[in-house]
């Protein structure tokens, strides 16, 4: 039984004190691979350090939509040179996308930044890791011209409705499912009844969005088992069947040396 956390920010300061313990707890829980989405130019270095130190940690390169400000072109240039210099290691472009929850005033530059990162995904033939918050229609509008271009990717931490899920599946993308699926009031379990399990990826988004019963505390990759348990209920599979199918899904999307 092996699991992959396809989205965790374990290079952030939240893990400064106990990262080794966090990783070993996760490995004991069955998490064998950790995929790290980048946030901005300042996080490249701590992210890269982790990748050097750990065989099972894999880097992405991207600029988070909430970090897209006036200087976004400088940020993108720095991240692009990291991508170029490390293209043998980088497994995805992200996280990118559009976030209109925190800031609507930057929509125009968020779109420009997103489009630039789509070009990187195509140039390097890498999957795109999309952050979508209060911005599904805006994102769909940007993505639509890229149908049948070979563009692939995942809507990370998907929490949308049935129509949005159907759009993503039809486009050929995956849905990243995290701790939100365990929350009492979420409609996500009903939505997922219409999504084929072959399109689901498991993730934590650690240190954010802890699953029940740890909601409100720091999230970490070991807690992904709560999400996998919930998903196995939703899809009427055993824990290990769910683990093996989602492992294969990640294998289909992310270009790493799988074993
Ligand atoms: Zn994230």
Sheet holding 153-155, edge to edge: 93-99, 128-133, 153-155, 174-177, 200-202
Strands 93-99 and 3-5, bridge-based pairing: unpaired
Single out the residue of 25, 29, 36 nearest to residue 254, CA to CA: 36
How far, in Å, CA of 257 to CA of 157, rounded? 25
What's the structural domain count of the chain? 1
The CA 7 to ligand 1 mean position distance, Å, reads 6
The pLDDT > 90 percentage for the chain reads 97
Domain contains 11 = yes
Domain contains 15 = yes
Contact 135, 98 (CB under 8 A): yes
Domain contains 196 = yes
Higher confidence at residue 230 or residue 1?
Answer: 230
48 has binding-site annotation: no
The CA 79 to ligand 1 mean position distance, Å, reads 16
Which domain, by its residues, includes 149? 3-253
Domain contains 119 = yes
What's the pLDDT tens digit per position in 98-122? 999 989 999 999 999 999 999 999 9
Phi and psi at 66, nearest 5°, equal -75, -10
The CA 184 to ligand 1 mean position distance, Å, reads 22
pLDDT over threshold 80, residue 259: no
Single out the residue of 141, 148, 87, 83 nearest to residue 117, CA to CA: 83
The CA 232 to ligand 1 mean position distance, Å, reads 23
pLDDT over threshold 80, residue 232: yes
Domain contains 99 = yes
pLDDT band at residue 1 using 50, 70 and 90 as cut-offs: confident
The CATH code of the domain that includes 70 is: 3.20.20.140
pLDDT over threshold 90, residue 257: no
156 has binding-site annotation: yes
What's the pLDDT tens digit per position in 178-220? 999 999 999 999 999 999 999 999 999 999 999 999 998 999 9
Domain contains 258 = no
| Residue range 227-240: mean pLDDT, rounded | 98
The CA 244 to ligand 1 mean position distance, Å, reads 23
What's the pLDDT tens digit per position in 18-55? 999 999 999 999 999 999 999 999 999 999 999 999 99
Evaluate the omega torsion of the peptide bond into residue 213 and state whether it is cis, within 30 degrees of 0.
yes
Domain contains 259 = no
Single out the residue of 4, 22, 2 nearest to residue 12, CA to CA: 22
Domain contains 48 = yes
Residue 258's pLDDT is 81
Higher confidence at residue 37 or residue 257?
Answer: 37
The CA 129 to ligand 1 mean position distance, Å, reads 9
């Amino acid at each position: 039984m092996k699991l992959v956390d396809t989205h965790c920010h374990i290079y952030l300061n939240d893990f400064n004190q106990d990262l080794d313990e966090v990783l070993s707890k996760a490995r004991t829980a069955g998490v064998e691979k950790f995929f790290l989405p980048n946030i901005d130019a300042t996080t490249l270095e701590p992210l890269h350090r982790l990748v050097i130190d750990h065989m099972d940690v894999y880097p992405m390169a991207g600029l988070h939509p909430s970090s897209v400000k006036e200087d976004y072109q400088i940020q993108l240039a720095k991240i692009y040179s990291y991508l170029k210099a490390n293209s043998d290691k980088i497994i995805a472009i992200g996280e990118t996308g559009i976030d209109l929850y925190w800031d609507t005033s930057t929509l125009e530059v968020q779109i420009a930044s997103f489009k630039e990162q789509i070009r990187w995904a195509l140039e390097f033939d890498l999957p795109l890791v999309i952050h979508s918050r209060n911005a599904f229609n805006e994102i769909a509008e940007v993505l639509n011209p890229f149908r049948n271009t070979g563009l692939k990717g995942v809507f990370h931490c998907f929490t949308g409705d049935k129509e949005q899920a159907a759009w993503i599946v039809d486009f050929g993308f995956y849905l990243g499912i995290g701790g939100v699926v365990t929350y009492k009031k979420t409609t996500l379990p009903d939505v997922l009844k219409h999504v084929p399990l072959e399109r689901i990826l498991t993730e934590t988004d650690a240190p954010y969005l802890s699953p029940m019963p740890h909601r409100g505390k720091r999230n970490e990759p070991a807690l992904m088992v709560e999400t996998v348990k919930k998903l196995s209920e939703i899809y009427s599979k055993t824990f290990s069947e769910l683990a093996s199918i989602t492992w294969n899904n990640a294998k289909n999307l992310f270009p790493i040396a799988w074993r």
